[in-house]
Chain A
Amino acid sequence: MAGLMAGFGHYTHAVVRGIPASLAKEALRSSQAEVNLAKARGEHEAYVEVLRTRLGLEVVELPADESLPDCVFVEDAAVVCGDTALITRPGAESRRREKEAMEAALKDLNLNLVEMTDETATLDGGDVLFTGREFFVGLSKRTNQRGAEILADAFKDYAVSTVPVLEGLHLKSFCSMGGPGLIVIGSSEPAQKTLKVFEKLKDHMLIPVSNLEKVKLDGALTCCSVLINKKANI
């Protein structure tokens, strides 16, 4: 039976992508710190290994594409929930082509694909927080209202709300799901402002955690994989 509700935290597949050499020099970033490519690749391998062995997910690895320096951050290219996958239109022009490989991979998984065709819409998966019951879309530099609306159209089963992202790159740069019904959020002032909005919209418990040590490339753990809860017969 196809599960309508993905619920939270139950996944069967993970789509990941390799790190291109161009990452170190060309990837978009807000800080200027040096990136050690070899080390990054090592970390990524370990990460994928955890997904595969520790979490028991079936990992679909897409090859890196040198022309897409940010392609390792697959999270931004697609939002998958239940049997529906929304192929996003990333806010950064340079990342738009990332969706091609992603689209193919998701199609292979027999998901119901929805494309974001509206030229005015932008949405990065990093701004999308799925709580198991609802979506929160961060309105950030990369994601706009229209993008949120299209996401709402794609996932009609769920309520979709927007929250402001006043700092950092993405909504999930400073908050993440800590578990079912638990949103973990940074303690910075802008994060707290976002939290206010969360509070009025959801019934989850919010635990502020210190998250001041930002990853050099504005990345968070969730951004390196697309998790899918895939049931056998879909």
Chain B
Amino acid sequence: MTTEAGSETEVKEKAEESAAPPDQSEKATEDSQEVANAEGEEKEKEKVKEKEGKEGKGISRYLPTWLKKQKSQSQTSPTKEVPPTEEAVSKVTQEEEEPVPEVNGHADEVEEKEEVKSDQVKEKEAESHSNASADTEPAKEEKLEESAEKTSEDTKKTTEGERAEEEKKEQEGEAEAEGEGGEGQTSIFQSPLRLVRKNKMKLVVCHVTLMDGTDFTCEVEKRAKGQYLFFKVCDHLNLMEKDYFGLTYTDSHEQKCWLDPTKEIKRQIRSNNWQFAFNVKFYPPDPSLLTEDITRYLLCLQLREDVASGRLPCSFVTHALLGSYTLQAEFGDFEPDQPRPLDYIGQLTFAPNQNKEMEEKIFELHKSHRGMTPAQADAQFLENAKKLSMYGVDLHHAKDSEGVDIMLGVCANGLLVYKDRLRINRFAWPKILKISYKRNNFYIKIRPGETEQFESTVGFKLQNHRSAKRLWKVCVENHSFFRLNAPEPPAKARFLTLGSKFRYSGRTQAQSRMASSLIDRPAPNFERTSSKRISRSLDGAPMISITEAGRDTAENGREPHLELHSDSKVKEVDLNPGDVEAMPSQQSPGCSELTLSQDHDKTQDDVLKHQASISQLKRSFMEAPPPSPPQPNQWEKRLTSSPAPTIRFQQQQVSLEEEIASVLFSRHTGTGFYSAAEAACGIPEPTLDAVITTCSAATSTAPTAVGSSSAPQRPLIPSTSPLSAAEVNVPQTEAATADNTISDTKEPAKPPVVKTEMVTISDTFAAQKTEIATKEVPIVHTETKTITYEAAQLDGNGDGEPGVLMTAQTITSESLCTTTTTHITKTLKGGLSETRIEKRIVITGDCDIDHDQALAQAIKEAKEQHPDMSVTRVVVHKETELAEEED
């Protein structure tokens, strides 16, 4: 298949590039040009104006595919557009004039991964544009191909900084695009298209109303997609757990609509009113599971507004309670000497029908929250708000089959029907087989009950076609987000058909949670609205380094600290089984959902509770005054780059011990499996080895495990084909590669290993999950492994693997030595390509290392660097020696 060929090509290393098809080499120059352009965005902006004159040429690119083919002549003159180098960038200007036909490829475009740094995002965006144009040709473009492309882009990112590298890939990517097109003709004008796309466009000023009422203004390219703007806003807010949020705009009918991240903004708003609002799109059923306080804070802002506006109805008592938490969060403890406390209360709106009595009550309750930090107050606010029956319910006006006015509410659990103030019906997602709309009718097909034989369809009348479609979209998105492990690919929808090709394109809650469990940054400071005082966010408190003693406690419970990261990460995963069980397997959303039983709910509840208590624990732990100055944050930085030799870790002699934990995630992208694995570890003593492996052959990574205990866990990334808990079984993958790399790593150990003791995490859950694992593709593997690493040996990979040592960096301080090595392996075999990136971080030292922190950091970095790859494995290898023979 062409696709595969394409992706292979692009994945190839320099060495193979010479072999690239000749027609591509022609474009090499212009490509490099493009790249340059894309990178130096600033420059381009200035140039936009210069090329007004060229407008005429661009027209063809907006013509529909079929038209293009006919007119091939006029377009075949790539020369016209090629030479222009940077100036060919006339794009935007033209767009205004030209009517833009729908481009098929667009809607289908896969949502980009988000955990990228802002600059990467931008770049990606640029690239996705180019993709989009490429996609224009093959109308029936499949997700497969796109992801392949994307992967190439990612790979690119990996190598970022090496211009040459990028150029070549660009080139190859193009080759791929052409391959997909399958028509020589097509490919000819593709390059001009891309060229133009890539280049600077006209900028538009967007106004985004944030939830605290402030305005955020930014410029975006006129053709930018929704997600570009969305990312910009998230960046501005310093928000990482983005998936629960979205941008809205008001359409010409005064209806609030969600901006589709995958589509061009311009085509959605259909007006010159570039005005948006940032809002919560999916209300997390349990906000305590959110990772960051800033996310909870933003959710609070939304809910305060929901409550004050009456959208989220609550009783007098609840109004007062929520209001009191808001006061505590915004103003801190009630101060008795404050002249008129009620003054400030009166200025805030807590309820639609706020009165003195309520304010008194709020005030009274506020007093009782003394000592509560803003983050705690927010958490309490959410704990109460989440229980409200209308929490997260998106209401739509409708009529039932008899023309009676009702309201349809879409939420995490399903569809609710209200009449007046009463809930008259309820359709949980598992009960719904299909959702569709036709004209102004909205239909749900209901799974037959135990006693019934046939499925039934319930219809509702919406005001008009638009509202029916809007409701349908909201349903599709909510269902995907809350019920699925991974979003459905738009092309081959089975569950929700009919109507548009629209599918939820973002990450699901499951994915989001997994992703955010990897977040490891110092809690960002943020200002709260009314007070504008600096958040006393708990997570912002100085970190506490964990000593051995602390670690012991972690054994039985959880380390309250940033443990999150090794230990809790696994736990986090554990939690999911419940989740996953409760969720329909992707392949058969129907049947599995049916079997939902109370038991499952319970388990889940328990787990959630557990989780909650842990976060509580974490919170309280964080709250404690920092006992010791050592700051892991610094440590993080060191790990990344700067050799800051001043870090003080708690010196402590510990007896010999070794820990190994590895986690395997996998993801199935079109042509192959791309994954990333990483490991980090800390040892209180002499050596610390960490291996970060990013690998395209998800399956192949496991084999080398010395001793492996499989503990399937929640999917990090969706995959469409089942993968057994074990490994292998993915047809396209070549286990060989991975194996090689790994065995390589097992080469002679530099640091003397005194004793190796394997500690396996999450075994307990294995049994429970095995069953799921067979259905649910994504698995997490726990295995134990001893790897000794030596950077020098990496390069000379055995078996002639075309591996490339990307970077190696060593940071040394008094007591610690950190070496980070990135190793990329690309293989091509039988039409399948595989990219595997392995990162190793070796920390050697004779002092205490917060290895959880180190692991988390390593994972986070890997995720950021390769947003589209997944972590296949995390191996933590820890060696501790009693005697100080090292260093």
Chain A partners chain B: yes
Which residues of A approach B to under 8 Å, CB–CB? Answer: 1-2, 4-5, 82-84, 112, 133-134, 137, 145, 148-149, 152-162, 181, 199-203, 205, 233-234
Whether B384 contacts A4 by the Cβ 8 Å rule is yes
Q: Which of B416-424, B586-594, B753-761 contacts its partner?
A: B416-424
Closest approach, in angstroms, between the C-beta of B229 and any C-beta of chain A? 36
* Residues of B with C-beta under 8 A to A159: 389-390, 416, 423
The residues in B between 385 and 421 inclusive whose CB is less than 8 angstroms from any CB of A are: 387-390, 416, 420-421
B389 touches A157 (CB 8 A): yes
Q: Is the CB of B387 within 8 A of A200?
A: no
Report if A160-B421 is in contact (Cβ < 8 Å); known contacts: A4-B317, A181-B598, A205-B598: yes
Q: Which residue of B lies closest to A5 (CB)?
A: B387
Q: How far is the CB of A205 from chain B (nearest CB, A)?
A: 6
Please state if A160 and B423 are interface contacts (CB–CB under 8 Å).
yes
Give me 8 A-to-B residue pairs in the complex whose CB atoms sit less than 8 angstroms apart, sorted by A's number: A1-B369, A82-B318, A83-B317, A84-B316, A112-B316, A133-B389, A157-B388, A203-B601
A4–B423 touching, CB < 8 Å? no
Residues of B within 8 A of A203 (CB): 428, 601
A145, A149, A154, A199: the one contacting B315 at CB < 8 Å is: A154
8 Å CB contacts to A: which residues of B554-609?
598, 601
Which residue of B is nearest A113, CB measured?
Answer: B316
B585 smallest CB distance to A (angstroms) = 21
Q: Is the CB of A156 within 8 A of B422?
A: no
Q: Does B368 contact A (CB under 8 A)?
A: yes
A203 to B423, CA, bound (A): 14
Chain A residue nearest in CB terms to B409: A159
Cβ-defined contact, B420 with A149, below 8 A: yes
* Interface mask (B527-547 → A, CB under 8 Å = 1, otherwise 0): 000000000000000000000
- Measured in the bound complex, the distance between the Cα atoms of B424 and A149 in whole Å is 12
A sample of 14 more A-B contacts (CB under 8 A), given A134-B423, A201-B425, is: A5-B384, A82-B315, A84-B316, A133-B389, A148-B422, A149-B420, A152-B421, A152-B422, A153-B421, A155-B315, A160-B423, A162-B424, A200-B426, A202-B426
For the complex, give the distance between the alpha carbons of A233 and B367 in Å: 11
B704 in the interface (beta carbon within 8 A): no
Closest B residue to A137 using CB positions: B422
Evaluate contact between A156 and B313: CB separation under 8 angstroms: yes
A205 to B599, CA, bound (A): 11
Cβ contact within 8 Å between A157 and B368:
no
Q: Are B315 and A84 in contact (CB under 8 A)?
A: yes
Shortest distance from the beta carbon of A28 to any chain B beta carbon, whole Å: 27
Nearest chain B residue, comparing its CB with the CB of A134: B389
From A2, A149, A153, A158, B321 is in contact (CB under 8 Å) with A2
Do B425 and A112 have beta carbons less than 8 Å apart?
no
By the criterion CB–CB under 8 Å, are B321 and A4 in contact?
yes
Which residues of chain A are within 8 angstroms of B425 by Cβ–Cβ distance?
200-201
How many of B's residues come within 8 Å of A, CB to CB? 28
Query: Nearest-CB distance from A200 to chain B (Å)?
Result: 6
Collect the chain B residues with CB atoms within 8 Å of residue A155's CB: 315
* Pairwise interchain contact B313-A1, C-beta atoms closer than 8 A: no
List chain B residues, Cβ under 8 A from A200: 425-426
A144 vs chain B, min Cβ distance (A):
12
Q: Could you tell me if B317 and A112 are in contact, using CB atoms closer than 8 angstroms? A: yes
A44 to B315 alpha-carbon distance, docked (Å):
34
Chain B residue at minimal CB-CB distance from A201: B426
Q: How far is the CA of A91 from the CA of B315 in the complex (A)?
A: 25
Residue from A4, A154, A233 in contact with B387 in the complex, judged by beta carbons closer than 8 Å: A4
Q: In the complex, how many angstroms separate the beta carbon of A21 from the nearest chain B beta carbon?
A: 39
Whether a CB of chain A sits under 8 angstroms from the CB of B38 is no
Question: Is A161 a contact of B422 with CB atoms below 8 Å?
Answer: yes
Looking at B314, B387, B389, B428, the one whose CB has the most chain A CB atoms below 10 A away is B389
Asked if A157 meets B422 with Cβ closer than 8 Å, knowing A1-B380, A4-B384, A233-B368, the reply is: no
Taking CB atoms, residues of chain B closer than 8 Å to A152 are 420-422
Task: With A4-B387, A157-B387 as known contacts, state yes or no: A149 contacts B316, CB within 8 Å.
Answer: no
Chain B neighbourhood of A149, CB < 8 A: 420-422
In Å, the complex CA distance between A21 and B796 comes to: 100
Distance A202 CA – B317 CA, assembled complex (angstroms) = 25
In Å, the complex CA distance between A4 and B321 comes to 8
Residue of B nearest to A204 (CB): B598
- B726 CB–A CB distance under 8 Å: no
* Minimal beta-carbon separation of B410 from chain A (angstroms): 15
In order of increasing CB-CB distance, the 3 nearest A-B pairs are A159-B389, A152-B421, A156-B313
Nearest B-chain residue to A159, judged by Cβ: B389
> Does B365 reach chain A (CB closer than 8 Å)?
yes
CA–CA, A205 and B597, complex, Å: 10
A163 → chain B, closest Cβ, in Å?
A: 10
Give the docked Cα–Cα distance between A202 and B598 (Å). Answer: 12
Cα A158 to Cα B598 with chains together (Å): 21
Q: Are B428's CB and A158's CB within 8 A? A: no
Cβ–Cβ < 8 Å partners of B598 in chain A: 181, 205
CB distance from B643 to the nearest CB of A (A): 49
Interface pair A1/B368, CB less than 8 Å apart: yes
Name A182's closest neighbour in chain B (CB-CB): B598
Q: Which residues of A contact B365 (CB under 8 A)?
A: 2
